[in-house]
Chains A and B, each alone.
Chain A
């Protein structure tokens, strides 16, 4: 995999202005080999599950329904540098096909990386929902060691389909995670998404969502909880290509230590997309004098009868609020945690599935110590 790092996108590209991948160049990434893991690493969820270990489907640990199978399908063409890399080196991924009118319930997709020496993973997943089909997908990435996880997910929702996609990026401290998610959303379909970003030294989640049919709807929320020298980038492009679509986006960044959060969000409204309702908000909380946020909420609008707004706010915890909580007897670290939890609450709104909610709440709880200390 020697040519791997030759075609990395550089900072001269506008889309990579705030995120520099050159740290990847310090490692010689090898192709992964299968490994066995302890089933105790899996979250306790009562649902079907797809378990990938080092990019290989772990058949013993997976519980696959009929509509999910391993697949090494052709990659859809893309001009994004990381998607091209994924296509060149791609590994088998999961293919999910939910037939029309089927409510498939919930499924867990978990990718666990066990890197002795540095490895690079390029899975490509495909998730298709037929007309009026429904699915909840809990998508977890975690691992140990130094590795580069560069997955691409291609999602397509037929008319009136509904996908709830809850992502937990909890990669190893030294890991690199660069995920690209394409979502094609047809008329009256809904894509509800929330990403919780906790792990990795350098990460980026990049969404390219297209609202291609009238009445399509997307919720693209995220929370970044970063500390140390973590760098996390949340980039999204939502293209409104049809009339009467709505997009909602709330991204919260909580930054401690020397961490750096990046938000780049673009709403594109094509000429045909009249009556678009677009909303986008990035709010950042800086907990340390060394943390940094770079935020670029962008609107690109070619239709006149639209309602689009975006906003960004940056600030620190409010000392008045901390004092109020402390005067009621709540110790300072707990008071801070409560305020941070309240700060990110709005972003969790799309998480309506009880088990997913509980899982994410626990993950958030687990992140306090790194943020509040």
Chain B
């Protein structure tokens, strides 16, 4: 269970998050919607531990463990996964080597046995097949020369192999055509289950047609201003975000 209490954060001297309260119980998928500049990406970076964001108050825990005190890799080992809005290119780093190194680092941190190359490749190939991704995705350098859609699918592949407890999808739908959007959504849906929860951050409702959330929250001006069921997304689509800042 991800529990965020009164979380505030700033970049340089600019207050971005102003007291966020949010609970995502195990097994649920929650969506966070909001206008540009509301603090959506900041929330995802603060939860995953990127440098440059100063937490000025509040807490964030995963199953009772304080996330904010941990290094990014420790959060990953604890089960946090951030699907980047703009996945980073790593020239010279092979994708398979990258994911296996990450998986084994997480396994090691958890005191579980590591996977050898053969076992890993077997598992990776199975996921690739299930996600209808091209086989050569593992051989290429991480995100180098990938199209926008391929980069997002690579994020989903990593998510499927690393098996996080909570996945944060930061505007994963941006720049995707409808086919790629479906593949990504299928990837997330396939992970749904009692041990997996997700925070789906998006500006538009269309992703939520494919990943149907249990709850929808509206983030504006650094605070959650409304919460509701999936129908809230449709309401926002129809009426826009205008007026929410005042709520």
B76 touches A327 (CB 8 A): yes
In the assembled complex, which residues on chain B have CB atoms less than 8 Å from the CB atom of A318?
88
A-side contacts of B48, CB under 8 Å: 327
Contact partners of A332 in chain B: CB under 8 A: 71, 73
C-alpha spacing A321/B72, complex, angstroms = 13
CB contact under 8 A between A346 and B92, given known A327-B82, A329-B76? yes
Chain A: interface size category: 20 to 34
From the candidates B49, B90, B105, name the one contacting A321 in the complex (CB within 8 A).
Answer: B90
CA distance A139 to B158 in the complex (A): 41
> Contacts A339-B93, A342-B93, A345-B92; is A326 near B158 (CB within 8 Å)?
no
Min distance, Cβ B103 to any Cβ of chain A, angstroms: 8
Residues of B within 8 A of A (CB): 48-51, 71-73, 75-77, 80-82, 84, 87-93, 98-99, 101-103, 105-106, 109, 141, 158, 162
A334 pairs with B105, CB closer than 8 A: yes
Least CB distance from A320 to B in Å reads 5
Q: How far is the CA of A249 from the CA of B162 in the complex (A)?
A: 39
A339: chain B residues at CB < 8 Å are 90, 93
A-chain residues with CB within 8 Å of residue B91 when the two chains form the complex: 342
Contacts of A321 in B (CB 8 A): 88-90
Beyond A323-B72, A345-B92, 8 additional pairs, beta carbon < 8 A = A319-B51, A327-B81, A327-B82, A338-B93, A341-B93, A342-B92, A342-B93, A346-B92
Interface contact A331-B82, CB-CB below 8 Å: no
| Distance of A330 Cα from B162 Cα, bound (Å) | 12
In chain B, what residue has the closest Cβ to A342? B92
User: Can you name 30 A-B residue pairings with CB atoms under 8 Å?
Assistant: A319-B51, A321-B89, A323-B51, A323-B72, A324-B84, A326-B49, A327-B49, A327-B72, A327-B73, A327-B80, A328-B73, A328-B158, A328-B162, A329-B76, A329-B102, A329-B103, A329-B162, A330-B76, A330-B101, A331-B105, A332-B71, A334-B105, A338-B90, A338-B93, A338-B98, A338-B101, A339-B90, A341-B92, A342-B90, A342-B92
Query: Across the interface, which residues of A come within 8 angstroms of B51, CB to CB?
Result: 319, 323
For B102, the chain A residues whose CB sits under 8 A away are 325, 328-330
**Distance in angstroms between the alpha carbons of A286 and B75 in the assembled complex:** 28
Q: Please give, as numbers and ranges, the residues of chain B lying within 8 Å of A330 by CB-CB distance.
A: 73, 76, 101-102, 105
Contacts of A279 in B (CB 8 A): none
Bound CA span A331–B108, Å:
11
Say whether A368 faces chain B, with CB atoms less than 8 Å apart: no
A44→B196 CA distance, assembly (Å) = 49
Assembly CA distance A318 to B51 (angstroms): 13
Q: Specify which of A324, A334, A343, A346 is in contact with B101 (CB 8 Å cutoff).
A: A334
Q: Which residues from B are CB-within-8-Å of A329? A: 73, 76-77, 102-103, 105-106, 109, 162
When distances are taken between beta carbons in the complex, the residues of chain B under 8 Å from A341 are 92-93
C-alpha gap A343/B92 in the complex (Å): 6
Known pairs A334-B105, A342-B93, A343-B92; A326 contacts B87 (CB<8 A): no
In A46-101, the 8 Å CB interface with B consists of none
Q: How far is the CA of A342 from the CA of B94 in the complex (A)?
A: 9
Chain A hits for B87, CB < 8 A:
324
Q: How far is the CA of A334 from the CA of B48 in the complex (A)?
A: 18
